[in-house]
């Protein structure tokens, strides 16, 4: 189990949670507690959206872990435009009820990080990988395999957060970023990698093995 610096609630959520609670309390005091009910419901939504539980990291160093909670929407051989290579692409779509912390799929060193501005199409669509706002992270494993993990904004998402930079070391399951309000993460692997998930399968960040490296 990796060390976990932000237990239960992601640090990104504390300002939203504080504002929601303050607004609900103010509405209850000033207008009556019945009027505050919608705001308390919103507070519960904020609480569940920013939950950030610790997770196990199964398998070995050759096992690629899911970087996000959600549902598998793509498993295909395609061109990795970030590293200019053929790759096995596995995409995880996150809805607003999933945990939105992003975690490293492998042990390795960050070799590059690229941000691209873009649109905010439905993240479940395949073209979102190329047209939406996104942040790509290139990680090279300890045995020389290259992995690209791409945070992609969605229809509602307006904020991609990435906390690592070139030269940083990452451990499997280590938290490296966050996407607010619905999105996807695309993982590009060496083409000889073997997928361990299927289309439509629900996965959990760190706890689900996406693929096995060659």
Please name which of 77, 62, 163, 54 lies closest in space to residue 108, comparing C-alpha atoms: 62
Whose structure tokens read 């793509």? 74
What are the residue ranges of helices labelled H in the chain? 14-31, 37-49, 128-131
Q: How far apart are CA 22 and CA 25, in angstroms?
A: 5
The answer for 212, left when phi > 0, alpha when psi is -120 to 50, beta otherwise, is beta
> Residues 190, 212, 151, 1: is their CA dihedral positive or negative?
negative
Task: Check if 206 is active-site.
Answer: no
* DSSP 8-state symbol, 66: P
Q: How far apart are CA 182 and CA 94, in angstroms?
A: 5
Distances (CA, A) of 174 to 13, 20, 57: 18, 29, 9
Query: Which is the catalytic residue, given 20, 36, 149, 183?
Result: 183
* DSSP 8-state symbol, 144: S
Which residues are identified as catalytic?
A: 183
């Amino acid at each position: 189990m990796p060390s976990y610096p932000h237990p239960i609630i992601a640090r990104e959520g504390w300002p939203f949670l504080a504002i929601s609670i303050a607004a609900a309390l103010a509405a209850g005091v000033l207008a009556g507690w019945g009027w505050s009910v919608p705001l308390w419901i919103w507070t519960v939504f904020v609480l569940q959206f920013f939950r950030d539980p610790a997770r196990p990291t199964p398998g070995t160093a050759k096992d690629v872990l899911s970087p996000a909670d959600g549902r598998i929407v793509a498993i295909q051989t395609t061109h990795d435009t970030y590293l200019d290579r053929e790759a096995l692409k596995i995409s995880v779509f996150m809805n607003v009820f999933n945990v939105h912390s992003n975690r490293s799929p492998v042990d390795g060193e960050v070799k590059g990080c690229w941000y691209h501005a873009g649109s905010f199409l439905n993240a479940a669509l395949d073209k979102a990988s190329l047209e939406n706002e996104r942040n790509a992270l290139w990680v090279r494993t300890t045995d020389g395999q290259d992995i690209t993990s791409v945070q992609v904004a969605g229809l509602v998402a307006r904020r991609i957060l990435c906390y690592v930079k070139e030269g940083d070391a990452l451990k499997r399951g280590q938290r490296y970023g966050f996407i607010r309000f619905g999105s996807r993460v695309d993982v590009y692997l060496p083409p000889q990698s073997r997928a361990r998930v299927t289309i439509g399968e629900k996965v959990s960040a760190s706890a689900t093995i996406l693929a096995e490296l060659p």
